[in-house]
């Protein structure tokens, strides 16, 4: 690893785990100071180099010769040996397929997976997404107030994924439990017993994915796994069956918390900027650009990772092979060198879509179109049905406990 002299480290983000407890505004101020001081600085508590600027972020995300994505799925705190033994014993075997796949076959697998995210597939999901939003509104409407997160935004992206993956409603509770366990294991602070329980749940979900794909091989249906099986057409050179299992396994995690947090951040930000909320209630055609500006202004994926493959220098700092980098996407999206008046929230901003909240380059988010659709529908339906929506005053708005993702733990809103 590169030589690191602690006395020279003036990075305002001195301890990553402390950022759990920061409000959005505090974190945003921290990033602003970090961008001013240095393009890159070391985070001793996790052993990563922090990158906060837009141009460096794009270069690192897209330069595959020097920077590898192979570490993106690693837990920040390594699994205990007992959990690793459990994984071996239960034959838990995901292999790098999409986000952490740096083999040559990534491009082929990605290309052949696109069919599952086609405009046609998204169009089929649209009425279902609208119904989910409206059913939730119908339920809480008489109460005059709601925790939008608990009563709508937490479940919605998961239910959309279940529909996309063809998971029957009867299995939904199990899957939710398994998915929560993965979060606990990767980003929480579980004791050994909790780790083993979560480890078992993750293995249960893996077994479930294997079984689901086997069923679809037997009897294809109208869902993403069947789309991939049809594309494969029995040819391993197109997609191997194990690739499809890995894709099904990975999508639940890729598309749930990311979208839950982003939709809460979007509603929160629009309500904190009352004029913007009013504008979208009057002119719904502003919503697609408002979605982009919300993603730029308050991205839900806070940190995304890369590893250095070849020695390289960034802003005078020499990095060597094996060094780890944490890209702070929300900071890149507020970089004053890229966006004019970058700290101003402006739903009319022309270049809002240039944000890197979905990443950039060969690994750019595969579910971006679906996520954009979900965000658009949530804002369309909410602003139509509850135009007078406002935030409940004096709520804590504490973020979820995870350094890589950010969204409020609760989001209380009210209306007359
Ligand atoms: C607002 C919600 C979302 C955000 C903010 C988000 C963000 C991201 C980011 C930052 C990456 C890494 C890109 C890179 O390394 O350059 C990524 C990759 C990915 N995302 Fe998303 N995502 C969202 C929703 C979704 C959804 C709904 C799905 C699927 C249903 C999904 C599937 C994926 C996949 C498969 C990849 C890996 C692509 C590859 O490596 O080829 N995401 N996403």
pLDDT, residue 45, reads 81
Q: How far is the CA of 337 from the centre of ligand 1 (A)?
A: 25
The answer to whether the beta carbons of residues 320 and 311 sit under 8 Å apart is: yes
Give 373 Cα–ligand 1 centroid separation in angstroms: 14
Using CA atoms, how far apart are residues 145 and 62, in angstroms rounded to an integer?
44
Domain boundaries along the sequence of the chain: 6-414
Tokens 């690191």 found at? 4
- Alpha helix segments (H runs only) across 219-348: 224-232, 241-255, 257-272, 274-282, 287-297, 329-332
Q: What is the DSSP letter of 72?
A: T
Task: Tell me how crowded residue 111 is: count the other CB atoms within 10 A of its CB.
Answer: 12
| 110 pocket-lining for ligand 1 (C-beta < 6 Å) | yes
Give the total residue count for the chain. Answer: 416
pTM to 2 decimal places: 0.95
pLDDT (0 to 100) of residue 14: 65
Q: What integer pLDDT is reported at residue 12 of this predicted model?
A: 65
- Token pair 């991939």 in the structure block, residue: 228
Contact 338, 354 (CB under 8 A): yes
Q: Are strands 412-414 and 145-147 parallel, antiparallel or unpaired?
A: antiparallel
258 CA to middle of ligand 1, Å? Answer: 8
Q: In this structure, are residues 263 and 374 in contact, taking their beta carbons and an 8 Å threshold?
A: yes
The tens place of each residue's pLDDT in the chain, 416 residues long, gives 444 444 445 566 666 767 777 889 999 999 999 999 888 989 888 889 999 999 999 999 999 999 999 999 888 778 899 999 999 999 998 999 999 999 999 999 999 999 999 999 999 999 999 999 999 999 999 999 999 999 999 999 999 999 999 999 889 888 888 888 887 787 777 889 999 999 999 999 999 999 999 999 999 999 999 999 999 999 999 999 999 999 999 998 899 989 999 999 999 999 999 999 999 999 999 999 999 999 999 999 999 999 999 999 998 999 999 999 999 999 999 999 999 999 999 999 999 999 999 999 999 999 999 999 999 999 999 999 999 999 999 998 888 767 788 999 999 999 99
Is residue 120 within 8 A of residue 373, CB to CB? The reply is no
Q: Whose CA is nearest to atom 21 of ligand 1?
A: 365
* Long-range contact set of residues 186-189: C-beta below 8 Å, sequence gap at least 24: 186/75, 186/76, 187/75, 187/76, 187/401, 187/402, 187/403, 187/404, 187/405, 188/401, 188/402, 189/77
Q: Is the CB of 158 inside a 6 Å radius of any atom of ligand 1?
A: no
Residue 257, Cβ neighbours under 10 Å: how many?
Answer: 25
pLDDT at position 267 is 98
Beta bridge partners of 391: 413
Helices 105-113 and 241-255: crossing angle, nearest 10°?
A: 70
| CATH number corresponding to 6-414 | 1.10.630.10
CA of 114 to the centre of ligand 1 (A): 13
Query: Could you tell me the two tokens for 255?
Result: 């598309």
Residue 23: CB atoms within 10 Å = 13
14 CB contacts (<8 Å, ≥6 apart)?
A: 43, 44, 45
CA distance 149 to 352: 25
For residues 91 and 82, what is the distance between their CA atoms, to the nearest angstrom?
14
């Amino acid at each position: 690893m590169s030589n690191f002299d602690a006395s020279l480290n003036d990075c305002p983000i001195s301890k990553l785990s402390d950022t759990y407890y920061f409000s959005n505004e505090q974190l945003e101020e921290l990033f602003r100071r970090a961008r001013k001081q240095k393009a890159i600085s070391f985070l001793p508590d996790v052993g990563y180099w922090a990158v906060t600027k837009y141009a460096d972020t794009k270069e690192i995300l897209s330069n595959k010769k020097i920077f590898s994505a192979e570490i993106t799925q690693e837990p920040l705190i390594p699994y205990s040996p007992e959990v690793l033994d459990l994984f071996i014993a239960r034959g838990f075997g995901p292999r790098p397929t999409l986000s952490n796949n740096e083999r040559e076959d990534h491009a082929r697998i990605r290309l052949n997976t696109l069919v599952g995210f086609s405009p046609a597939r998204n169009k089929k999901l649209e009425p279902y997404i609208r119904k989910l939003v409206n059913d939730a509104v119908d339920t809480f409407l008489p109460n005059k107030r709601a925790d939008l997160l608990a009563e709508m935004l937490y479940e919605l992206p998961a239910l959309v994924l279940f529909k996309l993956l063809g998971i029957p409603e009867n299995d939904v509770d199990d899957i939710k439990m398994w998915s929560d366990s993965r979060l606990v294991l990767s980003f929480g602070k579980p004791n050994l017993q909790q780790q083993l329980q979560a480890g078992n749940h993750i293995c249960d979900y893996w077994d479930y994915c294997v079984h689901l794909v086997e069923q679809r091989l037997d009897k294809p249906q109208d869902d993403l796994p069947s789309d991939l099986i049809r594309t494969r057409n029995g040819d391993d050179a197109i997609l191997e069956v194990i690739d499809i299992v890995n894709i099904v396994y990975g999508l639940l995690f890729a598309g749930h918390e990311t979208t839950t947090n982003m939709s809460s951040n979007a509603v929160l930000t629009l309500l904190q900027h009352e004029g913007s909320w009013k504008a979208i209630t009057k002119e719904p055609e502003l919503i697609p650009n408002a979605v982009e500006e919300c993603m730029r202004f308050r991205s839900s994926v806070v940190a995304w990772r890369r590893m250095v493959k070849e020695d390289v220098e960034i802003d005078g700092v020499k990095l060597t092979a094996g060094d780890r980098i944490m890209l702070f996407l929300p900071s890149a999206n507020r970089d004053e060198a890229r966006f004019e008046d970058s700290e101003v929230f402006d739903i009319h901003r022309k270049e809002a879509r240039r944000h890197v909240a979905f990443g950039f380059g060969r690994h750019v988010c595969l579910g971006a179109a679906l996520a954009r659709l979900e965000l658009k529908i949530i804002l369309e339906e909410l602003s139509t049905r509850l135009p007078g929506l406002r935030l409940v005053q004096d709520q804590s708005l504490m973020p979820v406990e995870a350094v890589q993702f950010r969204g409020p733990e609760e989001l209380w809103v009210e209306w007359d």
